Amino acid sequence: MARPKNAFYAQSGGVTAVINASACGVIETARKHKTKIGKVYAGRNGIIGALTEDLIDTSKESAAAIRALRHTPAGAFGSCRYKLKGLEENRAQYERLIEVFKAHNIGYFFYNGGGDSQDTAYKVSQIGERLGYPVICVGVPKTVDNDLPITDCSPGFGSVAKYVAVSIREAAFDVASMAKTSTKIFVMEVMGRHAGWIAAAAGLAAEKAGDAPHVILFPEREFDEEAFLAKVGKTVKAQGYCAIVVSEGVRDKAGRFLAESGTKDAFGHAQLGGVAPVIAQLIKDKLGYKYHWAVADYLQRAARHIASKTDVEQAYALGKKAVELALKGRNAVMPVIVRQSNKPYKWTVGEADLADVANVEKKMPADYITADGFGITKKCRTYLEPLIQGEDYPPYKNGLPQYVTLKNAAVKKKLGGTFKV
């Protein structure tokens, strides 16, 4: 009987609080099928690890270490921002992949990432047919931006959503306390250059009239300074303070990012800061209110300490399902979340063709934003609410979360030379 084929797994694009939970799902499930899948080799820094034959032998990791991936944020094997070109444009890349796969008996390819990464996965899925090397390629979805199509949501998003909703609720309690004699405005900047999914999620904190956040600025809506200032002024009069969430991707009427419109450093370089200070300063200049602002940046997508349990479970389930699909011989597919019901929230794992996933961006529906452009609708809330349900706390020691750092032992190289990426 032939040796079972090994699997290649890699993480790609911006990492999340739960991408390692998907890795855990992939590796734990593969380990349960040792007659069919040999070793799982992880690519060090995504597809670059495959191209440079820089493979990590995950079989060297203990069961406990792999289990700990479930509660460890970020990419345990390193990620990359590197997009494969088309087969016609760079045939050498694909021939190199095949060379590495052959050398290491790799027959399964799992690629964990967002839109660009699923494009890479899709391209790799074609090398069987087009270059005659049989590899079963399955994508594993991941993105804090929640912009992958077909899947109801994307792992990583639910945890950022929970973080931003919790954070704006807490900061708003703070500013409400201080508003009498001090800060009246709080601006929190969140990720989302093209889509307002994360900004919208902050809106979950506002459960009843008057609750923060009072204003959300979406990249989907052109920034209307006059309407915005009127809304802020009205809110301060009614509530005594105003808590604002702004997406990094908000643009002015000319289509420029607001983040780029305001600041220059001492040398005249543009864009030192984010959009939060620009918005805060605008309010100060026009309305005179004292402000504070925060830019959460990586803190939001790395915040495993406040991850959504739903998100962690889905991330794991999708990793597990990816392996199950591969074992069924399904090539060029990606497992997806299928929503069965809202209340109670029920979901199952379905399957999409990578051809339908690659390079398609899921936009936020127009009717998820209120008519005034500054809030989320009930429909949006109904969609988002289940995604932040449940807490899944990591273990703590000495007051700090215990995240695993793997050994990441290199697989001995079998090929001569190097490959330039």
List the interface residues with a copy of itself, window 377-416 (CB under 8 A).
385, 388-391, 393, 396, 398-401, 403
Q: How far apart are CA 195 and CA 357, in angstroms?
A: 17
Burial class (CB in 10 A: 0-12, 13-18, 19+), 144: buried
Please tell me what DSSP assigns to residue 402: -
Q: How far apart are CA 9 and CA 52, in angstroms?
A: 14
Residue number, 199 or 296, with CB nearest to a copy of itself: 296
Where in the sequence numbering do the catalytic residues fall?
145
Number of Cβ within 10 Å of residue 56's Cβ equals 25
Number of Cβ within 10 Å of residue 269's Cβ equals 9
Q: How far apart are CA 158 and CA 349, in angstroms?
A: 16
- Cα-flanking dihedrals φ and ψ of residue 257, to 5°? -60, 135
Residue number, 252 or 356, with CB nearest to a copy of itself: 252
308 belongs to the binding site for a copy of itself (CB under 8 A): yes
Residue number, 126 or 154, with CB nearest to a copy of itself: 154
Interface residues for a copy of itself in 6-35 (CB under 8 A)? 11, 14-15, 17
Interface residues for a copy of itself in 123-142 (CB under 8 A)? none
Interface residues for a copy of itself in 185-214 (CB under 8 A)? 186, 188, 204-205, 207
Binding segment toward a copy of itself, per CB under 8 A, in 56-64, 256-264, 330-338, 357-365? 256-264
Nearest residue to 139 via CA among 159, 160, 158, 155: 155
Helix H or strand E encompassing 254: none
* Residues facing 334 on adjacent strands: 352
Residue number, 370 or 389, with CB nearest to a copy of itself: 389
Q: How far apart are CA 309 and CA 350, in angstroms?
A: 20
CA 169-337-84 angle, to 5 degrees, is 100
73 belongs to the binding site for a copy of itself (CB under 8 A): yes
Residue number, 132 or 255, with CB nearest to a copy of itself: 255
CA 244-246-252 angle, to 5 degrees, is 120
229 belongs to the binding site for a copy of itself (CB under 8 A): no
Residue of the chain from 294, 327, 338, 415 that contacts a copy of itself (CB under 8 A): 294
289 belongs to the binding site for a copy of itself (CB under 8 A): no
Binding segment toward a copy of itself, per CB under 8 A, in 76-84, 101-109, 213-221, 321-329? 76-84
Interface residues for a copy of itself in 38-57 (CB under 8 A)? 45-46, 48
Minimum CB distance to a copy of itself, residue 15 (Å)? 5
Binding segment toward a copy of itself, per CB under 8 A, in 104-112, 146-154, 268-276, 315-323? 268-276
Residues 141-180, mask of contacts with a copy of itself (x by CB under 8 A):
---------------------x--xxx-xxx-xxxxxxxx
288 belongs to the binding site for a copy of itself (CB under 8 A): no
Q: In a 3-state reduction of DSSP, which class is residue 116?
A: helix
Residue number, 105 or 261, with CB nearest to a copy of itself: 261
Q: In a 3-state reduction of DSSP, which class is residue 410?
A: strand
Q: How far apart are CA 78 and CA 113, in angstroms?
A: 12
Which residue reads 């989907």 in tokens?
A: 220
Residue number, 77 or 332, with CB nearest to a copy of itself: 77
Q: How far apart are CA 93 and CA 29, in angstroms?
A: 29
Number of chain residues interacting with a copy of itself (CB under 8 A): 83
Residue of the chain from 63, 238, 272, 355 that contacts a copy of itself (CB under 8 A): 272
